[in-house]
Amino acid sequence: MDFLTLFLIYLCFVLAVTALLCLCSGRKESFLARSVNRASQVLSLVIPTQVQRVTHQALHRLFHTRSCLFMVLHIALQAAVFGEYTWEVFVYCWELQFPLLLLLLPYLLLAGNMGCFLLCSRANPGIITKSNAASLVKVYAYDGMLFQRGLVCPTCSVEKPARSKHCSVCRTCVHRFDHHCVWVNNCIGASNAGLFLLYLLSLTATAGAIAAVTAAFLIQVLLLSNIMHSTYLDAQGQEHTVEIPLLIQHLFLTFPRVVFMLGFVILLTLVLGGYSSFSLYLALTNQTTNEWCKSRRFGGFPHLASQPHDRPLVYKNIYSKGIWRNLKEIFKPPTVLERKKK
């Protein structure tokens, strides 16, 4: 039971850290950010300067420059999971006469996910250039709060259209900028937001399908072994019925790699499911991650000239057009001509 307890604690810890990161990500001066800054200041007193410099350069190269490292890691994790699924789960389930369509479902979802992954990583997210900046300015209206008219990007030297942002990683301005995703090594913008949403949903479905088939296999093993109706003797010689923790420990001793993979894909399904739900919410309300974060920090924005100082500013999303039209816009971004017709 020691390993099982540690494994459950590990899963709970990772989930708690992930939830904490999600909750604190939109706060400019969050408790998490202050804690990290203080911890780095304390560590800087004991870590040699040369080591700090090398670590800083490595982290900067990893998270602030375009790199294929996370793409390779993404493919490696999928290869490891599907390798284990094929080597053990698929073979055993085939012997147990599971439906073939159920066993092939993860592979079908993987094919769709890899297609969205490749298209999203290679697509132009909506890079703003001097040749298209004037036309892109006419696509979205300026709300006067998150986006102001007449601002020029100091790096690209172009007028910034509404809902755009300069990406320091790609070193370009992106139209309807959402965020830079290290996993696809590309920005998410107007032209590939729909592909990214499909990528997230298919990845969540793939992990969920593997978890469901693997769990069904392990349950079938327990039913066939009839261990659920067995008893055991403890150290004092007393007889007890087999409980769920002991069943999990028995499965881990029998199929250690399968149980570990199941725990990993369940955790992955929960994390991806939460992020996919958040991305779907943004799509249905016609918001980007950048706009959602900015709107949460809007209390620090200066007052507009036309706004009374005694009345607090309230952000209103002017880009939402209803659920159906918002979702349609993700997959078919509006053009200048479409806006003129409206």
Catalytic sites, residue numbers: 181
Q: How many residues are present in the chain?
A: 342
- Chain center to CA of 275: 5
Q: How far apart are CA 173 and CA 161, in angstroms?
A: 9
* 231, containing H or E segment: strand 231-233
Q: Report DSSP letters for 170-216, one per residue.
A: TTEEETT--EEETTTTEEE-TTTHHHHHHHHHHHHHHHHHHHHHHHH
Q: How far apart are CA 265 and CA 217, in angstroms?
A: 15
Q: How far apart are CA 256 and CA 254, in angstroms?
A: 6
Closest CA to 175 of 130, 139, 131, 121: 139
Q: How far apart are CA 218 and CA 228, in angstroms?
A: 12
Closest CA to 204 of 256, 306, 273: 273
C-beta separation of 148 from 302 below 8 A: no
Q: CB within 8 A of 158, min separation 6: which ones? A: 128, 129, 130, 133, 152, 173
Residue type, 45: L
